[in-house]
């Protein structure tokens, strides 16, 4: 199951299929500079005090070895050294540095320990409590995270409302979207009269695929007196960096409410209101907002018409072309999408996106040389890592394994904060090449380096299951669910794997229903619920969930499940249509191919032996 969809920013409660998504979010590639290492080393050698302070020796040793480890891209070693030095250190500046290093090295358990030491030394340090809150959220320790954020909100020199804007941004960018939503709920309970708290809670619920809850909270935020009387100190700054005006803050809340209502199944009135606003004030912003709402309502043709109008405006043209290209790519209209992205490239805006999708289209057409050229030109932006990973996959699959290895090594070095994702993709490349032992070795080594990464655990479970080691996969997923009992993604992954292997179907359904209660519009969870119902013999009951999942995300796994249920119910024409649609955009999907082959095989046998 893909983790992210192409247009929406929300993540799916993926069934941990660790294929790299064509919309995987990445950060610009950068190379670290370690000149500071020379300064540290020299400062240790410049002079010798007559009576050295032996208490400084461990700190100096740990710091020096940690910086050396950083220069060698040994994240775990560097974080461990800084954490060890922090255990008895009372230097606030050093504790800040240790917290930063452990966080940047993706070691939240170590960050939590260092932040606790920092808080012990200086209980009033707001940044220490913030670091503790972030680490707890990464570890899905919701109550701890909320408790630390409460301290931040109550003691920040910015003031509570202004600090809410910072916390909202942190929760919005957290990988753990379900945990972020739960933290937002806890904070809203602690600040019941705060419009910024309601705003944060509403957007968190929307990102976490619970639009009905978001509707209620958006309505409460808009009804709040503070939302009507003054600029919202709790709203993030506008693109220009200035605090939003009252009108801007209310407009954003209103757009959020309309989107939430549409996703909750109540589309008519919000669309009518958005169209009336556009007709009354025909700005590019209002037209774009209307088009985005139409997309949320799955009215793609109407959305395309609005976006086509925006292409006539030079300032809006790049945004409109990008969206049109994404829509057409999703729909499998590769020629149209290619034309959009080619035109987008001529505008000089979103160039990396244009190059990446043109590379994907070239790859679909098996023009691999052109795909490699295009991927190599993607320098930054949301798809930089994905482009290089796909380039490495092409190189390895076509006899250039050493070049692929070199590219992946370079990518891990240059994108250290994306290392788990890159290592998962590397394992997938090996797995696709039928080198499963090497894939497992990569993942096991990566787990030693990043022991808190859920992404790596899911990938290891997926790889084990693909080799028939179902018990081993279930063991990993059961452990994850025990560690994160309120995490819909963990519950869904464990429940789906049980259901997919026809094991403990009642337990599987209970787990998935718990996930569904928390994120009722999540495509992966909807797919899982439909699949477990089918496994229990309730094909007709499964269809609404599978149809809803497929309507939201045209993913090959979902298409395979929906098509099989339709096939078993005797609706073979509908099944073939779904598979054909999905094959245009997810042609490499293993489950989709395997499902069609398995279900078509009896027909072929009958034809061969004239049993019809």
3-state secondary structure 409-449: HHHHHHCHHHHHHHHHHHHHHHHHCCCHHHHHHHHHHHHHH
Lowest mean pLDDT: which of 199-203, 237-241, 372-376?
237-241
What residues does 11 pair with on adjacent strands?
A: 4
Place of tokens 């929300």: 10
Structural domain includes residue 74: no
How many domains does the chain divide into?
1
Place of tokens 């229990």: 536
Structure tokens at 108: 């939240």
CA distance 245 to 559: 45
Give pLDDT, residue 603.
Answer: 62
Give pLDDT, residue 51.
Answer: 45
Give pLDDT, residue 381.
Answer: 85
Instruction: List, for residues 332-369, the tens digit of each pLDDT value.
Output: 999 999 999 999 999 999 999 999 999 999 999 999 99
Q: Nearest-CA neighbor of 127 among 154, 156, 98?
A: 156
pLDDT surpasses 70 at 506: yes
Q: What phi and psi values does residue 521 have, to the nearest 5 degrees?
A: -115, 15
CATH code: domain of residue 357: 1.25.40.10
Lowest mean pLDDT: which of 18-32, 54-68, 428-442, 556-570?
18-32
Structural domain includes residue 360: yes
Give pLDDT, residue 237.
Answer: 59
Q: What number of CA atoms fall less than 13 Å from residue 254's CA on the CB side?
A: 17
pLDDT surpasses 50 at 31: no
CA distance 287 to 282: 7
Structure tokens at 279: 């007709």
H or E element that contains 607: helix 590-608
CA distance 361 to 371: 8
- Mind giving me the DSSP string for 111-136? HHHHHHHHHHH-TT-HHHHHHHHHHH
Identify whether the C-beta of residue 79 lies closer than 8 Å to the C-beta of residue 88.
no
For 377, the 3-state DSSP assignment is: coil
Structural domain includes residue 372: yes
Q: Nearest-CA neighbor of 117 among 136, 79, 89?
A: 89
Structural domain includes residue 543: no
Q: Could you give the C-alpha distances from 441 to 378, 407, 437, in angstroms and in order?
A: 30, 19, 6
Domain that holds residue 371: 311-378
- Neighbour tally for 519: CB within 10 Å: 25
Instruction: List, for residues 595-611, the tens digit of each pLDDT value.
Output: 999 999 776 555 554 45
**Rounded to 5°, angle at Cα 112 from 159 and 83:** 125
Identify whether the C-beta of residue 236 lies closer than 8 Å to the C-beta of residue 182.
no
Find the Cα–Cα–Cα–Cα dihedral 181, 185, 186, 188, rounded to 10°.
130
Give pLDDT, residue 238.
Answer: 54
Mean pLDDT for 409-418 is 90
Quote the percentage of the chain above a pLDDT of 90. 75
- Neighbour tally for 93: CB within 10 Å: 8
Place of tokens 């050698």: 45
User: What is the DSSP-derived secondary structure letter of residue 11?
Assistant: B
502: left (phi over 0), alpha (psi -120 to 50) or beta: left
Structural domain includes residue 347: yes
Q: Could you give the C-alpha distances from 16 to 178, 203, 266, 461, 524, in angstroms and in order?
A: 15, 25, 31, 8, 10
H or E element that contains 515: helix 505-518
Which comes out higher in pLDDT, residue 228 or 75? 75
Beta-carbon contacts of residue 562 (< 8 Å; ≥ 6 apart): 530, 543, 546, 547, 549, 550, 575, 578
Give pLDDT, residue 4.
Answer: 36
Q: 235 falls in which pLDDT band (50, 70, 90)?
A: low
Q: Could you give the C-alpha distances from 153 to 106, 162, 196, 220, 452, in angstroms and in order?
A: 25, 9, 11, 21, 27
Task: Please give the distance of CA 531 from its chain centroid, rounded to a whole number.
Answer: 23
Tell me what the pLDDT averaged over the chain comes to. 87
Identify whether the C-beta of residue 24 lies closer than 8 Å to the C-beta of residue 422.
no
Structural domain includes residue 371: yes
CA distance 81 to 567: 57
- Mind giving me the DSSP string for 563-591? HHHHHHTT-HHHHHHHHHHHHHH-TT-HH
pLDDT surpasses 50 at 531: yes
Q: What phi and psi values does residue 129 have, to the nearest 5 degrees?
A: -65, -35
Give pLDDT, residue 38.
Answer: 34
- 133, burial (CB in 10 Å: exposed 0-12, middle 13-18, buried 19+): buried
């Amino acid at each position: 199951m893909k983790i992210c969809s192409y247009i929406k920013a929300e993540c799916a409660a993926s069934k941990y299929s660790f294929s790299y998504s064509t919309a995987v979010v990445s950060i610009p590639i950068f190379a670290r500079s370690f000149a500071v290492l020379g300064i540290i080393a020299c400062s240790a050698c410049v002079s010798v005090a007559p009576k050295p302070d032996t208490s400084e020796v461990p700190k100096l040793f740990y710091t020096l070895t940690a910086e050396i480890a950083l220069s060698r891209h040994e994240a775990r070693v560097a974080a461990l050294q800084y954490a060890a030095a922090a255990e008895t250190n009372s230097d606030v500046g050093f504790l800040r540095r240790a917290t930063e290093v452990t966080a940047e090295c993706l070691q939240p358990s170590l960050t939590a320990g260092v932040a606790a030491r920092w808080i012990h030394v200086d209980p009033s340090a707001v940044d220490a409590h913030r670091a503790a809150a972030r680490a707890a959220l990464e570890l899905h320790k919701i109550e701890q995270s909320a408790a630390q954020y409460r301290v931040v909100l109550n003691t920040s020199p910015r003031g509570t409302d202004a600090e809410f804007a910072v916390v909202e941004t942190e929760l919005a960018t957290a990988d753990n979207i379900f945990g972020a939503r739960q933290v937002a709920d806890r904070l809203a309970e602690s600040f019941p009269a705060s419009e910024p708290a309601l705003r944060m809670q509403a957007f968190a619920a929307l990102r976490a695929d619970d639009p009905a809850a978001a509707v209620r909270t958006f309505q409460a935020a808009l009804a709040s007196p503070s939302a009507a009387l003054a600029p919202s100190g709790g709203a993030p700054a506008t693109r220009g960096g200035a605090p939003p005006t009252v009108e801007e803050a209310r407009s954003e809340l209103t757009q959020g409410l309309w989107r939430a209502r549409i996703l909750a199944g109540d589309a008519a009135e919000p669309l009518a209101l958005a169209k009336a606003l556009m007709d009354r004030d025909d700005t590019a912003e209002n037209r774009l907002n209307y088009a985005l709402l139409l997309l949320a309502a799955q009215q793609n043709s109407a959305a395309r018409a609005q976006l086509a109008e925006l292409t006539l405006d030079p300032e809006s043209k790049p945004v409109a072309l990008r969206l049109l290209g994404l829509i057409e790519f999703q729909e499998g209209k590769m020629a149209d999408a290619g034309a959009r992205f080619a035109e987008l490239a001529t505008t000089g805006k979103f160039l990396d996106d244009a190059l990446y999708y043109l590379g994907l289209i070239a790859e679909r057409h098996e023009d691999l040389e052109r795909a490699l050229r295009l991927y190599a030109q993607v320098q930054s932006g949301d798809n930089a890592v994905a482009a290089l990973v796909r380039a490495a996959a092409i190189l390895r699959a076509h006899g250039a394994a050493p070049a692929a290895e070199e590219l992946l090594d370079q990518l891990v070095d240059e994108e250290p904060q994306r290392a788990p994702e890159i290592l998962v993709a590397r394992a997938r490349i090996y797995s696709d090449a039928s080198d499963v032992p090497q894939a497992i070795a990569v993942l096991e080594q990566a787990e030693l380096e990043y022991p808190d990464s859920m992404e790596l655990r899911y990938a290891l479970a997926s790889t084990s299951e693909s080799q028939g080691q179902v018990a081993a996969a279930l063991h990993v997923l059961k452990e994850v669910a025990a560690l994160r009992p309120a995490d819909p993604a963990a519950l869904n992954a464990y429940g789906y794997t049980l259901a997919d292997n026809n094991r403990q179907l009642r337990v599987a359904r209970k787990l998935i229903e718990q996930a569904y209660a928390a994120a009722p519009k999540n495509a992966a969870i909807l797919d899982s619920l439909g699949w477990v119902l089918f496994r229990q013999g309730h094909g007709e009951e499964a269809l609404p969930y599978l149809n809803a999942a497929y309507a939201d995300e045209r993913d090959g796994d979902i298409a395979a499940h929906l098509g099989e249920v339709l096939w078993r119910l005797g609706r073979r024409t509908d099944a073939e249509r779904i598979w054909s649609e999905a094959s245009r955009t997810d042609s490499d999907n293993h489950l989709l191919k395997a499902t069609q082959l398995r279900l078509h095989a009896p027909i072929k046998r009958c034809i061969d032996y004239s049993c019809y």
